[in-house]
Amino acid sequence: MTHFIKKVFGTIKGFFFTVRCPYCGRVIEPNKSCCNKCRKEFPEMPLVRYATGGYICASPFPYDGIFRRAVLNFKFHNCGAYAELLSHEMVRSIKDVYRDRKFDLVTCVPMHKDTLRERGYNQAELLAKECARLLGIEYADLLVKTKKNKTQHSIKAAERAKNVIGVYSPIDKNLIKGKRILIIDDIITTGSTLGECARILNKCKCGEICCCTLCTSLLI
């Protein structure tokens, strides 16, 4: 019955809304997360990196080509709805790389309130909530960004670790303590941002911390 309801809902959704491939913009069927042509470019295995501090990070895509285009549209061209489609591949990577791990909470790298007001949404939060829904794990806002620093992509790689120090704070230490946490972001480049978020959570005596991003930058 559940499968039938989902199928009916998908048909209704497809009738009223045009669904486009987040990687190329082609119209796709409402039950698909991308077009067949783009699917052929997907890496067979997740890409694994380590954020600052040695925290493992899984990503389904390199930050290049159609995947870079998808991220830029998602972040800067009012395509927040892509989160539902993009998160499917993130979950695939999570289940592959972290198949022997269990998480209590999914959270995201927070955005400063001024930046959030300008953009209208935090792309990392949208991805994290979709990943949490697909995984059946609770989502929680665990950190707040209290300082508006320079954007990481605007400064040299060597300066990025220093740029994120002291900009994040825990919201509720009691919620963090003892929890196994999965942190979500859109891109990992040097790993400084994810590493700093993980460091703050670790100071609150959480359990294991792992990370997942949509893309990983192979060239720093």
> Rounded CA gap, 148 and 189, in Å?
19
86 torsion bin: left (phi>0), alpha (psi -120 to 50), beta (else): alpha
Model confidence, pTM:
0.88
Q: Looking at the chain, which residues constitute the CATH 3.40.50.2020 domain(s)?
A: 43-216
State percent of the chain over pLDDT 90. Answer: 75
pLDDT tens per residue, range 10-33: 444 444 468 899 999 999 998 899
45-54, 103-112, 150-159, range with the lowest pLDDT: 150-159
Question: If one looks up domain 43-216 in CATH, what number appears?
Answer: 3.40.50.2020
Residue 153's pLDDT band (cuts 50, 70, 90): low
* 60, 135, 141, 213, 214 from 184: Cα distances, Å: 13, 13, 11, 6, 8
Q: What is the 3-state secondary structure (H, E, C) of 102-162?
A: CCCEEEECCCCHHHHHHHCCCHHHHHHHHHHHHHCCEECCCEEECCCCCCHHHCCHHHHHH
